[in-house]
């Protein structure tokens, strides 16, 4: 299983999950159709599934056009069935979604939105976290509560530490400034920032990040309790 990172819009990432034997693919959060179509046509793969983490436009913007062109199935959380365009397959918390050679566990991780989910390809140790957990940050709380977001990121924190995290946006550099301002003695963080800057300079994605790095460097995952997490989230909103 190969992951192809597709840049969309200003700073979004869509991800193609490709089964290289059958040449079938899923796309996670296609913000727009065009960059996805370009890759699919060039590499001659079959797009079979669209996996949405949540209903925001910059994550589902390509659904209609891609489904029309490839007759793929759109997959998302059951409670978002009225706001994910063209949804076909309705998922529940903790369910295993399995089709073809793709197999992922679904986690309901509310906070950014009430219906946000993550797709955990546990065999491959990769998780698609949308706008909930970013590299060195976490999503803004739009619909949920601080407590929901705190619990959601802590659910991800419990996965094996070598898990690769694929998030919805390239926010890593801005996020690193906030982490550093609040955790200035963290040597691991400083080392990670050097690597991040090098990637950005070479126009490369800083994603995926490894859960181990995030546990050591992401200030939101380091928050000991709900009060300190909530304080950090407020500070970040005004940073």
Annotated catalytic sites, by residue? 54, 56, 58-59, 112, 131, 169
* Distances from the Cα of 44 to the Cα of 1, 10, 67, angstroms: 16, 26, 17
Q: Which is nearer to Zn ion, 56 or 222 (CB)?
A: 56
Q: Is residue 61 part of the contact set for Fe ion (CB under 5 A)?
A: no
Q: Is residue 108 part of the contact set for Zn ion (CB under 5 A)?
A: no
Q: How far is the CB of 56 from Zn ion (least distance, A)?
A: 4
Report the distance separating Cα 164 and Cα 182, nearest Å. Answer: 25
Report the candidate in 44, 19, 28 with the shortest Cα–Cα distance to residue 100: 19
Q: How far is the CB of 192 from Zn ion (least distance, A)?
A: 24
Count interface residues toward Zn ion (CB under 5 A). Answer: 2
Q: Which is nearer to Fe ion, 53 or 163 (CB)?
A: 53
- Measured at the alpha carbon of residue 165, what is the angle toward residues 161 and 169, in degrees to the nearest 5? 150
Please state the separation of Cα 238 from the chain's center in Å: 23
**List 29, 32, 131, 214, residue binding Zn ion (CB under 5 A):** 131
Q: Which is nearer to Fe ion, 136 or 193 (CB)?
A: 136
Q: Is 186 helix (H, G, I), strand (E, B) or coil?
A: coil
**12-19 and 133-134: which strand pairing?**
unpaired
Q: What is the DSSP letter of 136?
A: T
Q: Is residue 131 part of the contact set for Fe ion (CB under 5 A)?
A: yes
Per the CB < 8 A criterion, the answer to whether 11 and 169 are in contact is yes
Report the distance separating Cα 68 and Cα 34, nearest Å. Answer: 13
**List 48, 55, 56, 192, residue binding Zn ion (CB under 5 A):** 56
**List 168, 176, 213, 214, residue binding Fe ion (CB under 5 A):** 168
Q: Which is nearer to Fe ion, 24 or 137 (CB)?
A: 137
Report the distance separating Cα 103 and Cα 143, nearest Å. Answer: 29
Residues that bind Zn ion (CB under 5 A): 56, 131
Tell me which residues touch Fe ion (CB under 5 A): 58, 131, 168
């Amino acid at each position: 299983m190969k992951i192809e990172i597709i840049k969309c819009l200003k700073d979004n990432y869509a991800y193609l999950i490709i089964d290289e034997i059958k040449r079938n693919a899923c796309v996670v959060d296609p913000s727009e159709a065009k960059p996805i179509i370009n890759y699919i046509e060039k590499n001659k793969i079959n797009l079979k599934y669209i996996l949405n983490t949540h209903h925001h436009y910059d994550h589902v913007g390509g659904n209609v056009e891609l489904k029309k062109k490839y007759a793929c199935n759109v997959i998302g959380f059951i409670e978002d069935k009225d706001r994910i365009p063209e949804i076909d397959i309705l998922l529940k918390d903790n369910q295993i979604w399995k089709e073809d050679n793709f197999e992922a566990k679904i986690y309901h991780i509310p906070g950014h939105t009430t219906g946000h989910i993550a797709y955990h390809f546990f065999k491959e140790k990769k998780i698609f976290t949308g706008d909930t957990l970013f590299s060195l940050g976490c999503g803004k709380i739009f619909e949920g509560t601080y407590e929901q977001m705190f619990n959601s990121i802590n659910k991800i924190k419990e996965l094996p530490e070598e898990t690769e995290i694929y998030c919805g946006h390239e926010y890593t550099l801005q996020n690193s400034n906030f982490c550093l301002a609040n955790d200035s003695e963290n040597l691991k963080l400083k080392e990670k920032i050097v690597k991040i800057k090098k990637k950005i300079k070479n126009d490369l994605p800083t994603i995926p990040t490894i859960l181990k790095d995030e546990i050591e460097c992401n200030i939101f995952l380091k928050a000991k309790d709900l009060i300190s997490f909530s304080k950090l989230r407020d500070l970040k909103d005004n940073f």
